[in-house]
């Protein structure tokens, strides 16, 4: 039986663009086993200097809007222009079994056949809004492997949109016209964080509906304050089926990067995202520490009941837990 690669071998393989090594590296950072945490972080630290050069695109939309078809066609267009495209597609996981559909390679058949593309479907494992906890780490790995465009596809439910918008350079919202009220089913908050809105399936009999939706959303965006003084989010129609509008869509994405880079907003966004990533991990670790302590775990349940019954304010409950956490850490000899 072949020996498992060392961290140094994994790092060299990823940098060399070895797809098998890249897949193994992503599996390592996605692992939920505690013994894999340290080697995963060592690998990420080794590869961090080689990452950060890709253009990160987040794409969201409700089921049926055609996300995978758009990514398949857009990615194919980019490969023809000599880009290397990585797709991190977060799949909905079963709440009972934790299983994942992992069908993205089937739904992106055109792109999956390209040697210049890498598609990695990752189970969401019940994390916030369906966004895989390790998506950011996987992004570091594919960038270190030389992919210059990274597309993160969300499942389009819950708060996944905001989570993905917080890790990409450009956030694209896909909408489908002709399904009743065009403004139905999209929250104002999603419009506010979008860098662009694209009405999909603007072909055949649906084209008239798409043009009507275009005017509707242009009006909606006109009354909102743009998130950046350097960019007013455009609205456009596209058809992945006929490959209509996708070159224009990519041109807008590039224009956005150029404008934001010139103003310094691009680098500022990356810095803020990196700091946000650290704070997200800190919160997760603090919660994990709370629940690992048996006494704290029991007290959390008791305090939840007291807060729910109106017997204690949430602030006082949290203060008690933090005091208990400090005592527990001192007992274990870990306090400063």
Distance CA 6, CA 114 (A): 29
Please list the residue range(s) of the chain that carry CATH number 1.10.287: 275-331
Encode 229-291 in three state secondary structure: CCECCCEEECECCCCECHHHHHHHHHHHHHHHHHHCHHHHHHHHHHHHHHHHHHHHHHHHHHH
Residue among 125, 156, 137 at smallest CA distance from 88: 137
CATH 1.10.287 fits 275-331, yes or no: yes
H or E element in which residue 255 lies: helix 246-263
C-alpha Rg value of the chain to the nearest Å: 22
Sign of the CA dihedral 77, 106, 166, 129?
A: positive
Q: Could you tell me whether strands 55-60 and 235-237 are parallel, antiparallel, or unpaired per DSSP bridges?
A: unpaired
Q: Write down the pLDDT at residue 7.
A: 96
Q: For residue 203, how many other CB atoms are within 10 A of its CB? A: 16
**Backbone phi, psi, residue 132, to 5°:** -60, 135
> Between 294-308 and 314-331, two packed helices, what is the crossing angle to 10 degrees?
170
The answer to whether the beta carbons of residues 108 and 130 sit under 8 Å apart is no
Distance CA 210, CA 125 (A): 35
Determine the topology of domain 51-262 in CATH.
Rossmann fold (3.40.50)
The answer to whether the beta carbons of residues 108 and 76 sit under 8 Å apart is no
Could you give the residue ranges of the DSSP H alpha helices within 51-173?
Answer: 67-80, 104-107, 109-112, 135-144, 160-165
Please list the residue range(s) of the chain that carry CATH number 3.40.50.300: 51-262
Q: Write down the pLDDT at residue 322.
A: 87
Q: Exposed, middle or buried: residue 282 (CB in 10 Å: 0-12, 13-18, 19+)?
A: exposed
Distance CA 319, CA 326 (A): 11
Q: Write down the pLDDT at residue 228.
A: 73
Q: Write down the pLDDT at residue 180.
A: 44
pLDDT in tens, the chain (336 residues): 457 799 999 999 999 999 999 999 999 998 888 899 899 999 999 999 999 999 999 998 877 888 999 999 999 999 999 999 999 987 555 443 444 444 555 678 889 899 999 999 766 555 554 456 688 999 999 999 999 999 998 876 556 777 888 899 999 999 887 654 444 445 566 777 889 999 999 998 888 888 988 888 887 777 766 667 788 889 999 999 999 999 999 999 999 999 999 999 999 999 999 998 888 888 878 787 777 888 888 899 999 999 999 999 999 999 998 888 887 666 666 544
């Amino acid at each position: 039986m072949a020996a498992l690669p060392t961290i140094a071998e994994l790092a060299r393989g990823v940098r060399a663009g070895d797809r098998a090594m890249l897949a193994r590296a992503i599996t390592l950072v996605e692992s939920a086993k505690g013994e894999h945490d340290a080697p995963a972080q060592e690998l990420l630290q080794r590869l961090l200097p080689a990452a950060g050069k890709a253009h990160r695109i987040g794409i969201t939309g409700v089921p049926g809007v055609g996300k995978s078809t758009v990514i398949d066609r857009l990615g194919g267009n980019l490969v023809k222009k000599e880009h290397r495209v990585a797709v991190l597609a977060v799949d909905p996981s079963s709440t009972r079994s934790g299983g994942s559909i992992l069908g993205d390679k089937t739904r992106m058949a055109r792109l999956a056949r390209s040697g210049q593309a890498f598609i990695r479907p990752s189970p969401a494992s019940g994390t916030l809004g369906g966004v895989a906890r390790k998506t950011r780490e996987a992004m570091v790995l594919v960038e270190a492997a030389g992919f210059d465009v990274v597309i993160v596809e969300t499942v389009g439910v819950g708060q996944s949109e905001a989570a993905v918008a917080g890790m990409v350079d450009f956030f694209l919202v896909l909408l489908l016209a002709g399904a009743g009220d065009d403004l139905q089913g999209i929250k104002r908050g999603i419009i506010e964080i979008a860098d662009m809105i694209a009405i999909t399936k603007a072909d055949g009999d649906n084209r008239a509906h798409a043009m009507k939706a275009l005017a509707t959303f242009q009006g909606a965006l006109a009354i909102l304050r743009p998130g950046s003084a350097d960019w007013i989010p455009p609205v456009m129609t596209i058809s992945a089926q006929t490959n209509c509008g996708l070159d224009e869509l990519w041109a807008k994405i590039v224009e956005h990067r150029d404008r934001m880079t010139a103003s310094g907003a691009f680098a500022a966004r990356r810095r803020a995202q990196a700091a946000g990533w650290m704070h997200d991990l800190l919160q997760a670790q603090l919660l994990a520490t709370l629940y690992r302590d048996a006494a704290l775990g029991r007290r959390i349940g008791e305090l939840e009941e007291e807060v729910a019954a109106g017997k204690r304010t949430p602030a006082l409950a949290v203060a008690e837990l933090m005091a208990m956490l400090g005592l527990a850490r001192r007992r274990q000899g870990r306090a400063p």
